Amino acid sequence: MKIYQNSSEPIYKQIAAQLREQILMGKLKAGDPLPSIRGLAQDLKISVITTMKAYEELSSEGLVTASKGKGYYVNAQDERMLKEQHMRQLEKHLSDAIYSARIAGVGLEEVEQTLEMLWSIDEV
């Protein structure tokens, strides 16, 4: 895991985002434990409360569950919810793309062409 300490994005959000990605990509599977809060803080050279906040965020999204006295575990992800999460990511990235397109004055047609081109490159 990598952390930008001087980024405008809070450190707890960076941690949550990276763990979220690992869960959604299936690298962390149902039942897998997250690193201990204080162990991760030690590894990343950040404060304990920052790690805790990252885990609480993942917990509120239903991705992990706190087991009292034992730490955090990855929840079984139901497929619909997983797809929902991926859709949310997709929409976010497409919104960013639309934003860039508007600034550059690129129309929908050209964006579609670009998307098709990238899509076909990725399939190979």
Partner 1 sequence: MNNAIEINGITKKYKDFTLGGVQAVVPCGFATALIGANGAGKTTLIDILCGVTGKTGGKAVYFGDMTDIDDDKLRNRIGYCSSANFFPMDWTIKKIADSMELGFDNFDRQRFAELCKRFKLGDPTEKKQKKLMKLSDGNKMRTYLAAVLARDTELLVLDEPASSLDPLARDVLCDLFREYLSERDGERSVLFSTHNIADMEYATDYAIFMANGKVIEQGFVEDLKEKYILVHGDAENADKVRPFMISFSGGRTGFEEIALAENAEMLRAYDTAVETPTLQQLSVGILRKAEEDEK
Residues found near partner 1 in the complex (CB under 8 A): 5, 8, 10, 12, 36-39, 41-42, 45-50, 53, 69, 71
Q: How far apart are CB 35 and partner 1 at their closest, in Å?
A: 10
Nearer to partner 1, 41 or 77 (CB): 41
- For partner 1, the closer of residues 14 and 77 by Cβ is 14
Nearer to partner 1 (CB atom), residue 44 or residue 77: 44
Question: From the CB of 6, what's the least distance to partner 1, in Å?
Answer: 10
Q: Name the nearest CA neighbour of 21 among 85, 73, 69, 66.
A: 85
Query: CB-wise, 7 or 65, nearer to partner 1?
Result: 7
Q: State the minimum distance, in angstroms, from the CB of residue 16 to partner 1.
A: 12
The least CB distance from residue 85 to partner 1, in Å, is: 24
Encoded tokens for 38: 């204080």
* Neighbour-count burial for 22-51, b at 16+ CB within 10 Å, e otherwise: bbbeeebeeeeebbebeebbeebebeeebb
Residue 79 corresponds to which tokens in the numbers above? 């497929």
